[in-house]
A and B are shown apart, each in its own frame.
Chain A
Amino acid sequence: MTDAGMLRFHVPEPEVRPGGTPDFSNVPIPKAGSAPRPEIDVDPRTIRDMAFSIIRVLNRDGEAVGPWAGLLSDEELLEGLRHMMTLRSFDARMQMAQRQGKTSFYMQHLGEEAVSCAFRKALMPGDMNFPTYRQAGLLIADGYPMVTMMNQIYSNEADPLKGRQLPIMYSSKEHGFFSISGNLATQYIQAVGWAMASAISNDSKIAAAWIGDGSTAESDFHSALVFASTYKAPVILNVVNNQWAISTFQGIARGGSGTFAARGLGFGIPALRVDGNDYLAVHAVAKWAAERARKNLGPTLIEYVTYRAGAHSSSDDPSAYRPKTESDAWPLGDPVVRLKNHLIQRGVWSDERHAQAEAETLETVITAQKEAESNGTLHAGGKPSTREMFEGVFAEMPPHLRRQRQQAGV
């Protein structure tokens, strides 16, 4: 057989593996402020290139530049910084609590705090997020009590989910946060269904779907795009591209499409890529998409380009599959540092105030943690009753479950 006639199997590989020198030269980073800001009723065919670029607002000097800048006041930005710092402290304490055996499992947001914190501020009360496990900033930025989050993480006697769910799989209808399943991608089409229901009901509320780069390979992602496109559902389709799906680099899910945003193009859905470590850019693009949804212009797909600086979960060790220094080499920097520098540049913040705020947010988190731990942790103190195990499978307990509860003696 000639070489030309022999088929070769292709498996994509990341540029660098452990031991190598991190290299992101293949990630083109456009200049901040260079991306245009189209009208919300733009014909998606005319902005196809935005699915391959990156919308950025904060430049290297910490200035907010370009047509996507200028939406947020000093107060709003300071609040945003505080949300991200709180989330970071929260993560650090809960990660430690997991290591101390106070819970079974934890997932942190390190490096991705801007995505969920900034996005939340682009929504209105009543809108509904269908999050993955790495969007707790949606709750923090909406004022959901940290103690309640921790009660859930500890599965203690005050856990609103009665100990039934894995840690961090929060649920709060009141705060527009749909119950996290723990499955991947299933929530994406559910978000579209929620949005369809809002339109069917002639309501004004919109939905936001969330997914990671790896899970875009799931069928439910494509189902969601078909339904969103067909029914012009008022939904924002968020893809958080943090480069890594546990040990699998994003190229395995992305394949030959160039970017995840480009997945939207075949469905006629406007698709934007945005700097996920830029609080201002995330907020501005989310606001644009929300306005489109609310004006019956249909769905928008947004890819947030970011980097998962921490491990996938408390059960993961990234040093086995990527260089340890890779996160330092990530060209879009750290979202907290970048917003901090911007606020200093605006003249409303300083290194001293930042250090003080770090101490304050940590103190707030520790206070909440003490209160939560007074309600118990996974293996110590108060826990949900065993009876709860049998409750809530159905609205009304059927006879077979009643018999089994009797057998269990609870």
Chain B
Amino acid sequence: MPRRTMIEAIRDAMDVSMARDERVIVYGEDVGFFGGVFRVTHGLQAKYGKSRCFDAPINESGIVGSAIGMAAYGLKPCVEIQFADYMYPAYDQLTQEAARLRYRSNGDFTCPIVVRMPTGGGIFGGQTHSQSPEALFTHVSGLKTVVPSNPHDAKGLLIAAIEDPDPVIFLEPKRLYNGPFDGHHDRPVTPWSKHELGEVADGHYTVPLGKAAIRRAGSAVTVLAYGTMVYVAQAAVEETGIDAEIIDLRTLLPLDLDTIVASVKKTGRCVVVHEATLTSGFGAELSALVQENCFYHLEAPVARVTGWDTPYPHAQEWEYFPGPARVGRALIETMGA
């Protein structure tokens, strides 16, 4: 089976979708001729023409607002916001328009759009190229939120998102584009070509939205993670030797609660890990759900390891980033509680 980077896998998902369905349209800033600042859409304009893949003005509310109109017409736009940090001008269009169009019109108009955006830090991007705004989407009724952690899933989830009848936010952990980064920033990253989840089948396949994956089976503690943090958690587990079960959520909304609850009931302990800030983060929702559903099985408080509640700093990136050492400490504390 061919091995692909995350960038190639996401591009392949759009390529496959555009070939299968002429309603699929791809656009965004630098997306057309150049193929995107992360090269994700490279070659799509040459292959499908300027009506199917084109450059947009630097105007995120315009990109998303026009995509909503296109979807109302009957197309299936898959647009790119260059960095998740740039999505705020489009937030009104996403939350009050895309998210509610089906509901408010009782299905008279619908909004099958995908909004892709690179998320997370670890590239010395400072405050405006590092954020993880997933909780701002999961808090909104009517949006689905997806965060893939590997090329195989990224392709299958993106095709599923494009085929979904409702708006999907597709967050691409940019630190994973070229390999499964585990938080050890001082070591080289294994390329996807050497990782089994870098195996990406040709052609069409989907990974269903709303289904988590167990990345490591274990019996001592459940780790809930997504995106880059899946590999950070794996590193922490290997380094502490704790027999943790690592769940890669893949889709935050709809959430695969059954898989989470079954695991925590088995292990009796839970550590939630994400890169986004702590307060009102998605980890708060996960922690509350575990408490509500597994209280009588819990042996220890649910722990959260996250980015600090500060803006994402530049020089202090690795002190901010919740790396394997911090996750490892949380695992040890949770086991000792």
List the interface of chain A (C-beta within 8 A of B).
128, 130, 160-162, 164-165, 169, 171-173, 178-179, 181, 183, 186, 188-198, 200-201, 207, 219-220, 223-224, 226-227, 230, 392-395, 398-400
Contact = CB atoms under 8 A, between A and B. Distances in A.
B32 to A, nearest CB: 12
A162 B104 CA distance: 9
B113 to A, nearest CB: 10
A394 B189 CA distance: 39
Contacts of A400: 253-255, 257
A65 B178 CA distance: 69
Contact of B59 (A130, A165, A226): A226
A394 B73 contact: no
Given A181-B97, A194-B70, A198-B73, A186 B65 contact: yes
Contact of A197 (B62, B75, B106, B210): B75
Interface stretch (B88-96, B235-243, B294-302): B88-96
Contacts of B68: 190, 193
A393 B67 CA distance: 19
Contacts of A165: 104
B152 to A, nearest CB: 24
A189 B73 CA distance: 13
B72 interface: yes
Contact of B103 (A186, A198, A392): A392
A164 B103 contact: yes
B101 A193 contact: no
Given A200-B25, A394-B142, A193 B102 contact: no
A151 B322 CA distance: 54
Contacts of B73: 128, 193-194, 197-198, 201
B210 A398 contact: yes
A227 B59 contact: yes
Interface in B81-115: 89, 92-93, 96-97, 100-110
Contacts of A179: 101, 104-105, 108-109
B70 A197 contact: yes
Nearest to B61: A223
Taking each of B51, B69, B106, which has the highest tally of chain A beta carbons within 10 Å of its own beta carbon? Answer: B69
Given A164-B104, A197-B75, 19 more contacts: A161-B105, A171-B106, A172-B108, A179-B105, A189-B61, A192-B65, A193-B70, A193-B73, A200-B52, A200-B70, A220-B62, A223-B62, A224-B65, A227-B56, A392-B107, A393-B142, A395-B165, A398-B254, A400-B255
B104 A169 contact: yes
A227 B75 contact: no
Contacts of A220: 61-62, 65, 92-93
Interface string B249-269: 000011101100000000000
B190 interface: no
Contacts of A183: 92, 96-97
B66 interface: yes
Contacts of A194: 69-70, 72-73
B280 interface: no
Contacts of A201: 73-75
A392 B106 CA distance: 6
Contact of A196 (B70, B93, B210): B70
Nearest to B109: A179
B141 interface: yes
Contacts of A219: 61, 89
B188 interface: no
B11 to A, nearest CB: 21
A79 B104 CA distance: 32
11 contacts: A164-B106, A178-B72, A183-B92, A186-B92, A189-B62, A193-B68, A194-B69, A197-B70, A197-B73, A393-B142, A399-B210
B104 A161 contact: yes
Nearest to A188: B65
Given A200-B25, A226-B59, A193 B97 contact: no
Contacts of A169: 104
Contacts of B101: 179
B166 interface: yes
B203 interface: no
Interface in B174-217: 210
Interface in B28-69: 51-52, 56-57, 59, 61-62, 65-69
Contacts of A398: 210, 253-254
Given A162-B106, A393-B103, A393-B142, A196 B255 contact: no
A226 B62 CA distance: 8
A130 B70 CA distance: 13
A227 B57 CA distance: 7
A193 B105 CA distance: 18
Contacts of B66: 189-190, 192-193, 196, 227
B65 A223 contact: yes
Nearest to A200: B51
A399 B254 contact: yes
Nearest to A235: B69
A171 B69 contact: no
A220 B210 CA distance: 33
B109 A393 contact: no
Nearest to A162: B106
A7 to B, nearest CB: 30
Contacts of B61: 189, 219-220, 223
Contacts of B74: 197, 201
Contact of B75 (A161, A186, A200, A230): A200
A57 to B, nearest CB: 32
B197 to A, nearest CB: 26
Given A171-B109, A186-B93, A189-B62, A181 B67 contact: no
A56 B65 CA distance: 34
B62 A224 contact: yes
A181 B103 CA distance: 11
A161 B106 contact: yes
Given A164-B106, A186-B96, A230 B69 contact: no
Chain B CB within 10 A, most for which of A165, A179, A191, A198: A179
B70 A392 contact: no
A344 B100 CA distance: 48
A330 B100 CA distance: 39
A225 to B, nearest CB: 10
A392 B102 contact: yes
Contacts of B102: 392-395
A399 B165 CA distance: 17
Given A160-B106, A164-B104, A399-B254, A130 B65 contact: no
A230 B55 CA distance: 10
B162 to A, nearest CB: 14
